[in-house]
Amino acid sequence: TFHEAISDIYSAYESGVYSSVVKFTEGRTSLGDSKNILEVFSASFMLSQYGMTRFSHLYVGRHQHQFLKIRFTYSETVAMEGKQALDLFCREIVNLVS
């Protein structure tokens, strides 16, 4: 499921949705806070679309025999606010599924 989600991003590039895709990271990470933690596979990308640079973060994990897939994308012009919103969103999602 994780590699399929990454392939979807590159397929969007090949079909012209993005003019460039650069993968920065790929690995495992933890989402949540000290009370609730979810181990996930993660990847981060820099995308170009309509002349704008965007950052995209992908998380795929399992919880209670289900897959959880989060893809969060934001413009570089709001990078700090975007990253803060992503962190808050992931903490809340992990709290909801725990």
> Which pLDDT score is estimated for 44?
97
> Which pLDDT score is estimated for 70?
93
Residue 60 CB partners (closer than 8 Å, separation 6+): 1, 2, 5, 40, 41, 42, 67, 68, 69, 70
Interatomic CA distance for residues 7 and 9, integer angstroms: 5
- How many Cβ atoms sit within 10 Å of the Cβ of residue 76? 12
Residue 21 CB partners (closer than 8 Å, separation 6+): 9, 10, 12, 13, 45, 46, 47, 48
pLDDT digits (tens, 9 = 90+) for 26-41: 999 999 888 888 999 9
pLDDT digits (tens, 9 = 90+) for 87-98: 999 999 888 887
pLDDT digits (tens, 9 = 90+) for 33-80: 888 889 999 999 999 999 999 999 999 998 888 889 999 999 988 988
Q: pTM of the predicted model, to two decimals?
A: 0.89
